[in-house]
Structure 1
Amino acid sequence: MNDYELKVYDEVEDWKRKLTRRSGMMNRISKKAQGKINGMIPEKVHEMMTESIKGMVKTTLFGSQLTTNKDQAAGLTLAERDELMRKKTAVFQKTALVEGAGTGAGGILLGLADFPLLLSIKMKFLFEAASIYGFNTKEFEERLFILHIFQLAFSSDEIRRETLSEIENWEERKQTLVEMDWRKFQQEYRDYIDLVKMFQLVPGIGAFVGAYANNNLLKHLGETAMNAYRLRILKKAPEL
């Protein structure tokens, strides 16, 4: 492999080490509190929320499939794909920032609208990422991989490690995965963003919090997607 691929391999290994580190104390306390709250929510409500997010995601997946340019990275090297990915991430960060500022400034009602809007922006971005790295999202397993990237980015320590393991062994794992665990998917995502997004509903600071949070969430998703696809491309350590 060339020098750039060797550099990327080291970056991916460093990223994996960061992913598998234990979260900070505040995150662990927050997750524990959210777990208790989730335990108090009636099962019917959990089922309703799961079906709602499942419907939102599937609708967004369908729309993104239609609007993504499938040939935008044809013939590019890995270095060129990475550069295109960085530019695409910056564009989507700005989109999410504007959306977060707008809904945050609008108070509680518009703040609630932020959830599906931001979710659609993230899913559209992941379709673009798949296209950049040369993966065909018409294939069911590639759409499933997109959902695993999303879960890898927005989940607790335990689920993050499980998801990373599935992504590292995707060629084997995809044969046994027929559907996403939607209950786990929605609960992990809500728990991850609830604390930050709650402050977006506060009058006076909502616009700032919404813009800042959305920008950082897309930046984090961009890093996760880039390295997840790099991991699949570089299946083994480069030979020196």
Structure 2
Amino acid sequence: MKITAYDQKALKEIHQWKNPQIGWFDKALKVINEPLNAAGNAVLSTPLVGEAIQKAVKGLISVCNDAAQWSVRPEAILEEYRSDGHVHVKSLKDVSGLSLEDADKTVGWLAAKYKSLALAEGAGAGAAGIAGIAIDIPTLIALNLRAIGEYATYYGFDIERQEERLFAFNILALSSSPADASKNVAMAQLVKISQQVAKKQTWKQLEQHAFVKIIQQIASSLGVKITKAKLAQIIPVAGAVVGGGFNAYFTSNVCEAAYYLYRERFLAEQYGPTVIDQSVEPAASFEPDLPDTLEGELI
């Protein structure tokens, strides 16, 4: 099957996103983050913050394990496709028969919706200072799980499947990992799942206890990283600004990752797994070797 000009352009953009060039701004941000990261570690050791992060992590695990939190309605999305003129789209499987260009048009400005919601939620929680973190972080993750779920559904993937849940959690891990090492860990997981699904390999269901363990590990790492990134909320005047601003920034990263990664998988369904960029080697197992949860990087 000959690849179209639109799809070639999309793949080029996706592969460039996966392999960004590090500019002077990124280097400067890394230098700035080092002392902030050290300060974050110091604040995390205090009883008040330690208690807040434990509550946040427990809330995260609850959110990640509760299927109701995804709350994506596939039929509503399929109806959007039909309203856009694709009357034959009756199931998620039918979506893969569309062109990427058609799918992209229906997806539209999905990221803008979630960034606006995240900004409003974060501003409210940020005004509450450190006490708001225990509520804010699980709420932020629930919002972003829904965003990922919508992107998955728009591009024809069933978020109820175990492999899709793992893919979604690793998008969260990727979006909260600015450091090369932890970003590569998450990307390796994403490449592994993408390739396995694209090759139509039989999915070997993980034992429930193993699946839960992986989710808990990702949730714990997320809890530490995001808490450290939001510690500026303990400053009353800056809290609402930082809270809302960070939530919008994180949600922007999540939506961007979901947009590129699900589009790549959509194209892999049409052209085969060779279109999946492999600049990062696929992971050896589905259990991520994430950084120590007490020493996650500051975003």
Same fold (TM over 0.5): yes
- Could you report, residue by residue, the CA deviation over 1:77-119 in whole angstroms, capped at 9, with x for unpaired residues? 3123334445111001101111111222234433442112111
Contact 1:65 1:137 in 2 (8 A): no
What is the Cα deviation at residue 11 of structure 1?
0.6
CA distance in 1, matches of 2:34, 2:108: 31
Partner of 2:147: 125
Contact 2:174 2:187 in 1 (8 A): yes
What is the Cα deviation at residue 16 of structure 1?
1.1
What is the Cα deviation at residue 208 of structure 1?
1.2
Stretches of structure 2 lacking an aligned partner (at least 5 in a row)? 82-88, 90-94, 269-273, 277-299
**2:263 is aligned with 1:230:** yes
What is the Cα deviation at residue 39 of structure 1?
9.9
- What is the aligned-residue identity percentage? 23
Q: Structure 1 pair 120/231, CA: closer, same or farther in 2 (3 Å)?
A: same
**2:237 is aligned with 1:204:** yes
Contact 1:197 1:210 in 2 (8 A): yes
**2:138 is aligned with 1:138:** no
Q: Structure 1 pair 12/48, CA: closer, same or farther in 2 (3 Å)?
A: same
CA distance in 2, matches of 1:215, 1:36: 26
Candidates 6, 11, 14, aligned match of 2:13: 11
Contact 2:233 2:239 in 1 (8 A): yes
Q: Structure 1 pair 157/47, CA: closer, same or farther in 2 (3 Å)?
A: same
Partner of 2:187: 164
Partner of 1:188: 221
1:137 aligned counterpart, secondary structure: coil
What is the Cα deviation at residue 120 of structure 1?
1.1
- Could you report, residue by residue, the CA deviation over 1:36-94 in whole angstroms, capped at 9, with x for unpaired residues? 998999xxx999876543222112x3332464545244455312333444511100110
CA distance in 2, matches of 1:5, 1:80: 11
- Greater fraction helix: 1
What is the Cα deviation at residue 164 of structure 1?
1.2
2:237 aligned counterpart, secondary structure: coil
Partner of 1:58: 65
Using the size of structure 2 for normalisation, the TM-score is 0.65
CA distance in 2, matches of 1:125, 1:111: 21
Candidates 165, 168, 175, aligned match of 1:153: 175
Range with greater deviation from structure 2 (171-180 or 206-215) = 171-180
CA distance in 2, matches of 1:98, 1:48: 22
Q: Relative contact order (C-alpha < 8 Å, sep 6+): which is higher?
A: 1
CA distance in 2, matches of 1:19, 1:123: 28
CA distance in 2, matches of 1:30, 1:209: 14
What is the Cα deviation at residue 153 of structure 1?
1.3
CA distance in 2, matches of 1:215, 1:189: 16
Contact 1:126 1:225 in 2 (8 A): yes
Stretches of structure 1 lacking an aligned partner (at least 5 in a row)? none
Using the size of structure 1 for normalisation, the TM-score is 0.79
Contact 1:101 1:208 in 2 (8 A): yes
> Superposition RMSD on alpha carbons, in Å?
3.5
User: Aligned letter for 1:162?
Assistant: V
CA distance in 2, matches of 1:91, 1:224: 16
CA distance in 1, matches of 2:113, 2:247: 13
